[in-house]
Amino acid sequence: MKNNIKNINKRRQLKKYNLYFLIVSLFTIIFLNIISYYVFFRIDLTTEKRYSLSPATKKMLKELDDIVFFKVYLEGKFPAGFKRLHNETKEILDEFRAYSDNIQYEFINPNNENDPKETRNIQMILMQKGLEPTQLYYEEDGSSSQQVIFPGAIVSYRGKELPVQLLNTQKGVSPESVINNSIQTLEYNFAHTIKKITENRKQKIGFLEGHGELDAYETADIFQELSNFYLVKRIKFSYEDEDFLVYLKENNIQPFITTDTNQTPVFQEKLIGEYIRYQFEWLKSFDALIIAKPNETFSERDKFFIDQFIMNGGKVVWLIDPVYATMDSLMVNTNTIGFSQRLNLDDQLFKYGVRINSNLIQDLKAVPIPLETGRMNNQPQYSFLPWFFFPVILPESNHPIVKNLNMLKTEFVSSIDIIEKENITATPLLSTSQYSRTLNAPVTIDLNILRSQPDKRLFNKPNRTIAVLLEGRFESLYKNRLLPPAFTEVAGSLKIISDSKPTKLVIVSDGDVIKNQVRVNEMKEIIPLPLGYDKWTRQTYGNKDFIMNVVNYLCDDTELIQARAKEFRLRILDKTKIAGHKMRLQLLNTLLPVLIVLMVGIVKAWKRRKKYLKNL
């Protein structure tokens, strides 16, 4: 009887305790919810902090003043890798929404299985908006299938739209690594696009002309791509520059006079000083200059303009070919000569911290070109053979500009030496493979080298640097030097700087890295092809991404760029071990959990039985 009363009292106490615990728990949950409404925080327990946004991204999201809408075209039947990309994309957008209510998104399947015509129309619209299609191959019901997908998004803000490519294709990289590398750059790609589509003032980029640089057709694709994010303009250091003529017209100044019998307009010499003052100040309105493959000598006047642009904090992308070599000559003859160009830039680049050598690099890892190897039925037969003068560059640096970048296509590239300079940090960005060598100019370029096996012992100059980033405070080329003669009269009215503000330069020893190929249609119209696309092999290289990353890095906030440096470890299972121990692993993963549950149940039942037998 006493034992029964004791057990009843214990049950009552336990019941009171459970009721008390429930009430306290409910109040705790309510209290925490009230606190969390006013105090926002998130805890990231992952090793790589993959769910922690960079401070710059958080700041930008909190400052959004209107809806930014993402249409993500990653809905549909996908293999496991693309499902992971889908899930990670959704998670990063949810993370963005945690910091801003102005982030909204929708996942869309662009493929309508019931209406192929509608699917084709949607695909054409997406391509016109800037999304690139990807051919996806996968196994389904024991058979191989394929479909065209658009792993990207269209970002909308106040009537403006920008495309975002979510899949970073990389040749020679496993599909798992491609997906993982794409996930690593999601935050940067989205944050960068939001920044560009929402900012009121677009930064200005100038394509320099007047020294034989690449023309509008040869840079059409990158010009258009940059125009999505920046104000891009072709500029020329010339008295006939349109902007200068508009400036003179606005000030009622007549720029030209006629002094000869042919009635040829001649620029008034007295206006040279006016032009120099105008050009000197006008350049300050630009944030960056792109000098794309010049082949004519730079005057001291033009060098001074560029120098002072840098001294004022301007950024410059130098894409320089020190050796003149072209495939056009090889269309007529099987050989030609590559000779040094006199661009008059060596002293300026040396002053800033680099020397581009007058040589050409040969690399066994090279772009294949079509070569006639025989004839059949009086028809030429072509084979694709690696052309050693066109190295394929696989970026290996972890710098945000080139990290996870696809292979780049180069043509007639030269080596770069880094000169140590005080207050300047030099970072090599691109280099050739371990199977490369250099040939000093003048260089004989002969297609017949493709008809025999190369001697690998000759390719003993590995990892030649071909692209360098310079950051810091630069010293003017004209410090403690006489100014160019044209500036003597107006020097007093110019604010000449001897040491620069903190700025950045990128030097690449290949002008063709920014050059897109073209084709001529039936109407004899020149059609530019996408930058990086090779019309002979029909492969697309990472040249466009490289140039975009360079300009983004030079012009954007450094903090935002650091989001590209995120690195997620790829924890891939060993497929060889899986194949060898398949049955063991299956049994381990199916039976072991069941056995553990049974063991816990048996132990618990035994303890319960022992407890109640003791109380009897």
What confidence tens digit (pLDDT) does each residue in 257-290 have?
776 666 777 777 777 888 888 888 889 999 999 9
Residues 285-309 have a mean pLDDT of 94
Q: Which amino acid is residue 149, in one-letter code?
A: I
Of 326, 355, 325, 393, the C-alpha closest to 546 is 393
Q: Which residues pair with 68 in a beta bridge?
A: 103
SS3 526: strand
CA distance 256 to 460: 58
- Decide if 428 contacts 465 (C-beta within 8 A): yes
pLDDT of residue 427: 95
pLDDT-based confidence at 382, cuts 50/70/90?
Answer: confident
Q: Say which DSSP state 54 is in.
A: -
Q: Burial letters for 86-98: b for 16+ Cβ neighbours within 10 Å, e otherwise?
A: bebbeebbebbee
Hey, what are 514's tokens? Answer: 């920014």
Of 35 and 85, more confident:
85
pLDDT of residue 287: 95
CA distance 399 to 57: 19
Poorest-pLDDT segment among 104-118, 172-186, 428-442: 172-186
313 pLDDT more than 90: yes
Q: How many CB atoms lie within 10 A of CB 326?
A: 15
Q: What is the mean pLDDT of residues 594-609?
A: 83
What CATH number belongs to 55-195? 3.40.30
| 3-state DSSP assignment of residue 402 | coil
Of residues 353 and 50, more confidently modeled = 353
**pLDDT per residue as tens digits for the range 139-190:** 655 566 677 788 889 999 988 888 888 887 766 566 777 777 788 888 888 8
Highest mean pLDDT among 22-31, 448-457, 465-474: 465-474
Which residues, 6+ apart, have CB-to-CB distance to 29 below 8 Å?
none
pLDDT score recorded for residue 465: 96
Q: Choose among 353, 296, 616: nearest CA to 504.
A: 353
Q: What is the per-residue burial (b if ≥16 Cβ within 10 Å, else e) of 389-410? A: bbbbbbbebebbbbbbbbbbbb
**pLDDT: which is higher, 6 or 17:** 17
Distance, CA of 294 to CA of 214 (rounded, Å): 7
DSSP helix/strand/coil, 348: helix
Lowest average pLDDT, out of 15-19, 117-121, 218-222, goes to: 15-19
- Label residue 404 left, alpha or beta by phi (over 0 means left) and psi (-120 to 50 means alpha): left
Nearest to 329 by CA among 320, 338, 321: 338
CB atoms within 10 A of CB 165: 18
- Please say if the pLDDT value at position 538 is more than 70: yes
Tokens of 205: 């980029």
Q: What are the residues whose beta carbons fall under 8 Å from the beta carbon of 23, sequence distance 6 or more? A: none
Residue 120: what pLDDT? 84
Residue 578, pLDDT above cutoff 90 = no
C-alpha–C-alpha distance, residues 134 and 147, integer Å = 8
Nearest to 275 by CA among 297, 307, 251: 251
| Minimum mean pLDDT range among 58-67, 368-377, 526-535, 577-586 | 577-586
* End-to-end CA gap in the chain: 12
How many Cα atoms within 13 Å fall on the side-chain side of residue 33?
6
Looking at residue 45, its amino acid is L
Select, from the ranges 18-32, 168-182, 288-302, the one with the highest average predicted confidence (pLDDT): 288-302
Q: What percent of the chain has pLDDT over 70?
A: 87
**Angle (deg, nearest 10), helices 80-99 and 186-198:** 50
Look at residue 139 in the predicted model and tell me its pLDDT: 61
CA 214 from chain centre, in angstroms, equals 22
Alpha helix (H) residue ranges in 268-345 = 272-282, 300-311
H or E element, residue 602: helix 582-615
Q: Which of 298, 246, 341, 278 has its CA nearest to residue 306?
A: 298
CA-CA-CA-CA dihedral for 445, 451, 456, 458, to nearest 10: -30
Question: Exposure pattern of 453-486 as b/e (b: 16+ CB <10 Å)?
Answer: eeeeeebebeebbbbbbbbbebbbbbeeeeebee
Q: What per-residue confidence (pLDDT) applies to 56?
A: 81
pLDDT, the chain, mean: 84
Phi and psi at residue 550, in whole multiples of 5°?
Answer: -60, -50
Q: Which residues 6+ apart lie within 8 Å of 506 measured at CB?
A: 316, 317, 318, 401, 429, 467, 468, 469, 470, 550, 554
Q: Highest-confidence range of 219-228, 483-492, 549-558, by mean pLDDT?
A: 219-228
Residue with the bigger pLDDT between 601 and 18: it is: 601
The pTM (predicted TM-score) of the whole model is: 0.77
pLDDT band at 580 (very low <50, low <70, confident <90, very high): low
What's the pLDDT at 570?
47
Paired sense of beta strands 315-319 and 503-508, if any: parallel
In this predicted structure, which of 25-39, 155-169, 397-411 has the lowest mean pLDDT?
A: 25-39
> Would you say 352 and 500 are in contact if contact means Cβ atoms under 8 Å apart?
no
d(CA 380, CA 422) in angstroms, rounded, equals: 58
Q: Residue 173 and residue 576: Cα distance in Å, rounded?
A: 18
The answer, yes or no, to whether residue 128 has pLDDT greater than 90, is no
Domain boundaries, the chain: 1-39, 55-195, 203-236+265-539, 574-616
In the block, residue with structure tokens 């493929």? 111
* Angstrom distance (rounded) from CA 329 to CA 336: 6
Q: Where are the alpha helices (DSSP H) in 39-185?
A: 55-62, 80-99, 116-128, 175-184
Question: Using the 8-state DSSP alphabet, how is residue 165 labeled?
Answer: E
